[in-house]
Chains A and B, each alone.
Chain A
Amino acid sequence: MAYLDYKVAQIPTGWRKILHISWPLVLLVTAVCCIGFVMLYSVAGGRLDLWAEPQMYRFAVGMVLMIGLAFVPMWFWRGISVAAYVVCFLMLVAVDLFGVIGMGARRWIDLGPIRIQPSELMKIALVLLLAAYYDWLDIRRVSRPLWVIIPALLILAPTGLVLIQPDLGTSIMLVAGGAIVMFAAGVSLWYFAIIAGAGVGLVTAVLKSRGTEWQLLKDYQYRRIDTFLDPYADPLGAGYNIIQSQIAFGSGGWSGRGFMQGSQSRLNFLPEKHTDFIFTVLAEEFGFVGAISLLTLYMLILGFCLYSALSNRDRFASLITIGISGTFFLYFAINMATVMGLLPAKGSPLPLVSYGGTSLMILMLGFGLVQSAHVHRPR
C-alpha cells in the first residue's frame, strides 16, 4: 500500500491506471459470469458448444472492452454525452422506421454481421447525458420546475420511441434508470412523490380502460397482468411459464437437486431456460444456497459501485456510477422477482448470467464506465 499511498495523490496516467482499476469489482463480475457459464452448460444438457462457449468468447471480448474503457478519461465521456444520446435517439427512430422484426416487435437494426439493439445502448447514453446535465446545472436550480422538465423530456422522448416498438420492459427500464440519476442528483422528493401518485393513477386508468374504446395497452399485455395476478387461472396457457418456474424454484429446497439434476429444467418444463428463466434453473439445481449466493454477489457489486460513487468527488462520475449500478440493480431485481412470481412475466434477462450478446456487452460497457470513473476520481 505504501507505493499506492505515495503515488495516488493525483489522477494516474498511462499504464499506471491499471493499478487503480477496482480489481474486486472485476473479480465479482467474473465470478457472476462464471456462474452463468456453469448454468448455460447445465441447461444445454452438458453441452459446451451450445451456449456456454459462445458466451465465454463474448465475456472475453467484454472484459477487454471494460478494461479498455477504464483507461478513457472522464472529459471524454463528458464530451461525447450529448452526441451519444443524439446518435442513439436517431437509431431508435431508424428502428421504428426500418428495424428488423423479431419476437413480435421491431427492436433491432441489422448492420450486416452485427445486430444492434439501440434501446439497450440508450440506457447507457441516457445515464451519460443526465449525469452531464446535472454536472453542468447549478445545484441550487436542480429542483426548479423548468430544470426538472428538461431531463424529464430527455427521458421520455426515447422512452416513447421504445414504447411504440413495442417494448414495455425496456421503456420502464429507461424511465427508472433516468429517475435514479435524477434522484441521486438531488431533485426534490416531492417530484418523485407526485410521479408515484400519478403512477398509481395511471395503473388504475390502465386497468379501468380495458375493453373500452380508449384501451391503453395491447391485449397481450393485459393477459400478462391477468396471468401475474392469478397464474393458476390458466395453468396450461398463459400461466404455464410462471407456474412451472415457481415449481422449479421451490423444488430446489435448501441445497438444490444437484448439478444437472433439475427435473423441471432438464425435462423442458421450463421455458426460455437459457435466458429469462436461468435463475430458476440455478435455484432448482443449487437450491436456496445457490440463489442467495448469486444475490449476495450482485449486492457486493452494487456495494463496490456505491462506495466508489460516494467516495468520488467528481459529480459527473458519481452520477454515472450510481445510474449504471442502479440500472444493473433493476435488471437483476426484476428478473428474480419475475421468476419467483412477484412481478408479471415480461421477458428480461438476468444480468451477466443469461445467454445473450447484447445484454452482456452493454453491461460490460457500463462497468467499463464505472471503472473509468473509479480510476479517474479526483484525489
Chain B
Amino acid sequence: MKKSPREIQDSSRMITRRGLMLGGIQIATAGALAMQMRSMQLDHAEEFRMLADGNSIKIRLLPPARGLILDRNGIVIAGNEQNYRVTLTREEAGGDVEPILRRLAQIIPLSDARIEELLEEFSRRSAITPIVLADRLSWEQFSAIAVNAPSLPGVTPESALSRAYPRRGDFAHVMGYVGPVSDFDLSRIEQPDPVLRLPDFQLGKIGVEGRLEEILRGKAGARRVEVNSTGREMRELSRQEGEQGATLQLTVDAALQNYAAQRLGEESAAAVVMDCETGELAAICSSPSFDPNLFVRGISSRDYRALMDHDHRPLADKTVQGVYPPGSTFKMVVLMAGLEAGVVNAGTRFFCPGYTELGGRRFHCWRRGGHGSVDAVKGLEESCDVYYYELAQRVGIDRIAEMARKFGLGVRHDLPMSAVAEGIAPDREWKMRRHGQPWQIGDSLNASIGQGYVLSSPLQLAVMTARIASGRAVEPRLIRAIDGVRQPVPDWPELEGVSANTLRVTRLGMDAVMYGNRGTARASRIIRDEWRIAGKTGTSQVRNITAAERARGVISNDQLPWNRRDHALFVAYAPFEAPKYAISLVVEHGGGGSTAAAPLARDILLFALNGGLPPLDAVPSEQRAAMEARHQAMDLFIPEPPRNARTRV
C-alpha cells in the first residue's frame, strides 16, 4: 500500500512524539531504580552489612583440654589422648554413602551389621551432619584412611582429645571418670557453660573428676568462622585457643596404689594409707576395681551388667563410701574414753570369765575360756571383749561417742570424692532421733566392741589411727598441688582432751597387739626396729547369731556362705617411735582380722615405708618364702623417673 508523503510525515511526527514519551518514562524508571540503589547501598549500607555479617559469621567453641591429674611423683593418672576417628558427611559424599562405606570396610573393620546401622542413621540425619563411622582407630588405620581419601569422598579423618586413664583400675574409685554430657547433667547445672553442649564433650561424672570438674574443665576457646546458608563452615576468620584445665597433683603414690591393689587381689576389700603428719592419703584403694576407660568410651550394656552383677561390687568405692562395724578396732576409742573419764587407769584390772552377764543376757568374749585378769594393755593385746563391756558400763555411751568423733569417726571428712560417708558414732540423742527409742545398756556393750550401731568407713579408721599415732587432729588430704602450686599443709592442732598418758597407754596396747606374746596380730609384725609397727585387729559380725546357732556351738567362718562371713579389719601405724604412715584395711567377709586383714596391711605399710617392694628381712623368717612367691607373681607398676610434672598434653 502506497502512502502519501503527508501520511509518512504524520506518522513520523507521531512516532517521534510517542517515542520521546516512552524514552521519558524509561528514564524516569531508571531514575527510580538508581534512587533505590542509592538508598540501599549508600544510605543504609551499614545496616545491611551488619545483617550480612550476622548471617555468615558464627562463633564456634573450641573445647579446652582437660586438666591432667598426676600422682605425688608426677605420674599421669588421668591424661588426654588423641582419639582418631572418621566421620562422613552425606552431602560431600554425593548422596550415596553405601559404596563409600563398603570401600572403607576394606581399610578398617566395619561389620555388615554396623554398616546397616550407619545407613539407617544417615537416612535419619540431615545431609550436612557429619556422622562418626568409627573411633579409637590406630594410627595405622587413621593414616590408611588419609592416604585413600580421594576414593572416599566426604570421609574426614579427625582427631580430638579424649580422657584416658593409663593406670586403669588402680585409681578408678578415686578418679571416677568422665563421660558424655547427658540431659540430666545439664538439668542439674544452673546456667551451664555453653561448651557442655558441644557434641562429644566430656564431663566429670564422679570421683575427683566429678567433684573438681570446675577446675579441671578449663576455659573454652573460640573460633570465628564464616558459614554458608546451610551452616557449613567455609573458612576460619580468627581463633582464640582455650585454656587447659588446671593440672591437679594428688597426694597418692601410683606405685604404692598399684601394689596395694595387687595385694588386695580378688578380695572385696579396701585399704587407706595416710600420712600421719600431713594427712596426705598415699593410697586409697578399693578392690575389686574396674577400668574407667570403659565409661569414657561409653560402656557396653554387657560390660555394665557384668560390673553390676558382680557380688564383690566393683563399682562401689569401699574406702570412703563403704561403712562397716569397726569391730575391735573401735576398742582404742573406748579405752581412751575410759582413761580420759578417769574411770580406769592403765593398771585397772577387770576379770574376764569369757562373758559378762547383764540383765539376764550373756555378752560373750570372743574367747570362750576367758582372759582372766585384764588391764588396759592386755585388753588391747588380746582384744578382750569383757574388759570393754566393763569399761563401757562405767564410761557411758555419750563419752565414747564424743571420743569417737574426736578421732574422726562419725564425721564426714572433706575429700573431693563422691559420696564420702559420715558413718555412725552413736549416742543417746542419736538413737532417740533415729529410732525413737531410749538407749539401752546392752547397746553400749555392743558399741564397746565396735558392733551394734557403730559404723565407720576405712577412711575414718585410717584417720583415727593417724590421730592416735600423731596425737594431732590430722584431716585426710587428697590434693597436693594445683597447677604446680603446693597446697599448704595446715599445722594440725593437738587433740584436745586427750592426754599424752592416754595416748601412750593406747599406743603401748597397739604395740602389744603386734609384739606381745599373745598379741592377736603377732604373725604380722615387722621385725625391723626402725619400722616397729603398732596395730589393732578387728573382726566384725555381719549377722545376728541365732539361738539355734548358739546351741549348736560356734560355727567357724569357713562353713558359712561368703556373704555371711565376718568382715576382717586391721588398723596400724609405723614406725612406732616416729609415726609416718597409718593404714586401715577392711576385707569384706574375709573372716578374722588377724589372718585376713593384718598381713595385707603390714605388707602395704612396708611398701610405703620402703618406697618399694617390702624387704623380705622385715618379716618373720617363716613368711619370707611365701612373700617372695607373691612378689614374683605380681605384675608391678614401676614408674619411670618422672619427667617435668607440669608437662601438658
Chain A interfacial positions (CB closer than 8 Å to B) = 136, 138-139, 180, 183-186, 244, 246-254, 263-264, 266-269, 283, 287-288, 291-292, 295, 298-299, 302-303, 306, 309-310, 313, 315, 318-319, 322, 326, 329, 333, 336-337, 340, 342
Contact = CB atoms under 8 A, between A and B. Distances in A.
B56 A267 contact: yes
B34 interface: yes
A177 B29 CA distance: 16
B41 A283 contact: yes
Nearest to A183: B18
Contacts of A248: 48, 52
A251 B15 contact: no
A184 B48 contact: no
Contacts of B52: 247-248, 251, 263-264
B51 to A, nearest CB: 5
Nearest to B26: A329
A252 B41 contact: yes
A362 B342 CA distance: 119
B53 A263 contact: yes
B45 A268 contact: no
B230 interface: yes
A326 B22 contact: yes
Nearest to A319: B15
Contact of A184 (B19, B38, B230): B19
Given A183-B22, A269-B55, A310 B44 contact: no
B632 interface: no
Nearest to B36: A340
B interface majority secondary structure:
helix
A250 B15 contact: no
B27 interface: yes
Interface string B10-21: 111011101111
A309 B15 contact: yes
16 contacts: A183-B18, A185-B14, A247-B48, A248-B52, A250-B45, A254-B41, A263-B52, A263-B55, A283-B41, A288-B38, A298-B30, A299-B26, A299-B27, A310-B19, A322-B19, A340-B40
A340 B37 contact: yes
A313 B228 CA distance: 56
Contacts of B49: 250-251, 253
Given A139-B10, A247-B55, A267 B226 contact: yes
A251 B52 CA distance: 7
B51 A302 contact: no
Contact of A340 (B14, B20, B33): B33
Contacts of B40: 246, 249-250, 340
B19 A287 contact: no
Nearest to B47: A250
A249 B47 CA distance: 11
Contact of B34 (A138, A295, A322): A295
Q: Which 8 A-B pairs have the closest CB atoms?
A: A250-B48, A253-B45, A267-B228, A251-B52, A186-B14, A288-B41, A250-B40, A251-B48
A337 to B, nearest CB: 7
Contacts, number: 141
B30 A299 contact: yes
B234 interface: yes
Given A186-B11, A267-B227, A322-B19, 9 more contacts: A186-B14, A247-B55, A267-B56, A288-B37, A295-B34, A309-B15, A309-B19, A329-B26, A340-B33
A269 B234 CA distance: 13
Contact of B26 (A253, A269, A302): A302
B23 interface: yes
A249 B41 contact: yes
A186 B18 contact: yes
A306 B19 contact: yes
B102 to A, nearest CB: 31
Contacts of B228: 266-269
Nearest to A318: B15
Contacts of A326: 22
B15 A184 contact: yes
B635 to A, nearest CB: 58
A176 to B, nearest CB: 12
Nearest to A243: B51
A330 B8 CA distance: 29
Contacts of A288: 37-38, 41-42
Nearest to A240: B229
A283 B37 contact: yes
B1 interface: yes
Nearest to A340: B36
Contact of B55 (A253, A264, A333, A342): A264
A263 B56 contact: yes
A298 B37 CA distance: 15
Contact of B15 (A138, A303, A322): A322
A94 B356 CA distance: 118
A313 B8 contact: yes
Contacts of A340: 33, 36-37, 40
Nearest to B8: A313
B33 A263 contact: no
Contacts of B41: 249-250, 252-254, 283, 287-288, 291
A167 to B, nearest CB: 23
A171 B16 CA distance: 28
Nearest to A262: B52
A250 B53 CA distance: 12
A309 to B, nearest CB: 6
Contacts of B38: 288
A237 B22 CA distance: 38
Given A310-B19, A322-B22, A251 B30 contact: no
B226 A263 contact: yes
A291 B26 contact: no
